[in-house]
Chain A
Amino acid sequence: MDFQLTPDQIALKSGMRDLLAARFDREALRAAVERPGLDRSLWRALGDAGFFALRLPESRGGVGLGLPEAVLVFEEAGRALLPGPLVATHLAAGTEPGAADGESVVTWADGPLTAWLDEADHVWGDTEGAVPLRSVDPLTPLHRTRGTRTHVPEAALLAAAEQLGSASRTTELAVQHAKERMQFGRPIGAFQAVKHLCADMLVRTEVARAAVYAAAVTEDPDEIAGAKLLADDAAVRGARDCLQVHGGMGFTWEADVHLHLKRAWVRAEQWQSADEAAEVLARSL
Chain B
Amino acid sequence: MDLTYSEEEEAFRARLRAWLSTALPELPPRPDPLDWPARRAYDTAWQRMLYDAGYAGLHWPEEAGGRGATPTQHLIYLEETEKAGAPYVGANFVGLLHAGPTVAAEGTPGQRARWLPPVLRGDEIWCQGFSEPDAGSDLAALRTRAVRDGDDYVVTGSKIWTSHAEVADWCELLVRTAPIAEDTPKHRGITWLAMPMDAPGITVRPLRTLAGSAEFAEMFLDEVRVPVANRVGAENDGWRVTMVTLSFERGTAFVGEVVACRRTLAELAKTAQRNGSWDDNAVRRQLGRLNAEFTALWRLTQWNVSASQRGGGVPGIGGSVFKLRYSHARQELYDTAARVLGPGALDLAHDWTLDRLSSLSYTIAAGTSQIQRNIVAERILGLPKGR
Contacts and interface: CB of A to CB of B under 8 A. Distances in A.
A68 interface: yes
B292 interface: yes
Contacts of B324: 199, 203
A27 interface: no
A11 interface: no
A282 B285 contact: yes
Interface stretch (A31-39, A44-52, A150-158, A272-280): A272-280
Contacts of B285: 275, 278-279, 282
A88 B305 CA distance: 35
B18 to A, nearest CB: 21
Nearest to A72: B1
Nearest to B306: A3
Nearest to B380: A202
Given A3-B306, A284-B291, A218 B370 contact: no
Q: Which of A5, A200, A208, A281 has the most CB of B within 10 A?
A: A281
A158 to B, nearest CB: 16
Given A195-B377, A199-B381, A208-B296, A213 B1 contact: yes
A282 B284 contact: yes
Interface string B354-380: 000000000000000010111011101
A206 B324 CA distance: 12
Given A175-B383, A195-B377, A3 B288 contact: no
B30 interface: no
Given A190-B385, A192-B387, A285-B287, A202 B321 contact: yes
Given A207-B297, A226-B291, A186 B1 contact: no
Interface size class of chain A, counting residues whose CB lies under 8 Å from the partner chain: 35 or more
A215 B374 CA distance: 30
Given A203-B376, A275-B285, A179 B383 contact: yes
A34 B291 CA distance: 42
Contacts of A229: 289, 292
B325 A1 contact: no
Interface string A180-201: 0000001101111011101110
Contacts of B266: 285
A211 B299 contact: yes
Given A175-B383, A190-B384, A280-B288, A196 B370 contact: yes
B211 interface: no
Contact of B383 (A4, A195, A213, A284): A195
A76 interface: no
Interface in B262-291: 265-266, 269, 284-289, 291
Given A187-B384, A203-B376, A3 B292 contact: no
B15 interface: no
Q: Which of A1, A9, A279 has the most CB of B within 10 A?
A: A1
Nearest to A229: B292
A221 to B, nearest CB: 12
B203 interface: no
Contacts of B385: 190
B296 A3 contact: no
Contacts of A5: 1
Contact of A285 (B269, B318, B372, B383): B269
B384 A179 contact: yes
A281 B387 contact: no
B5 interface: yes
A271 to B, nearest CB: 16
Nearest to B3: A217
B289 A278 contact: yes
A210 B287 contact: no
Contacts of B305: 1, 3
Interface string A1-43: 1111110010000000000000000000000000000000000
Interface string B309-340: 11000000010010011000000000000000
Q: Which of B266, B289, B378 has the most CB of A within 10 A?
A: B289
Contacts of A4: 1, 303, 306-307, 310
Interface in A212-230: 213-214, 216-218, 222-223, 225-227, 229-230
A5 B2 CA distance: 9
Given A196-B370, A200-B373, A213-B1, 12 more contacts: A3-B1, A3-B306, A4-B307, A189-B386, A199-B374, A203-B324, A207-B321, A214-B299, A230-B292, A277-B288, A281-B291, A282-B285
User: Would you list the 8 A-B pairs with minimal beta carbon distance, nearest first?
Assistant: A190-B386, A226-B292, A281-B288, A282-B288, A278-B288, A285-B269, A278-B285, A199-B373
27 contacts: A1-B2, A1-B305, A2-B2, A3-B299, A6-B1, A68-B1, A175-B382, A178-B383, A190-B385, A194-B383, A199-B372, A199-B373, A203-B325, A207-B325, A209-B303, A214-B3, A222-B295, A223-B295, A225-B292, A226-B295, A230-B296, A277-B288, A278-B284, A278-B288, A279-B284, A281-B287, A283-B288
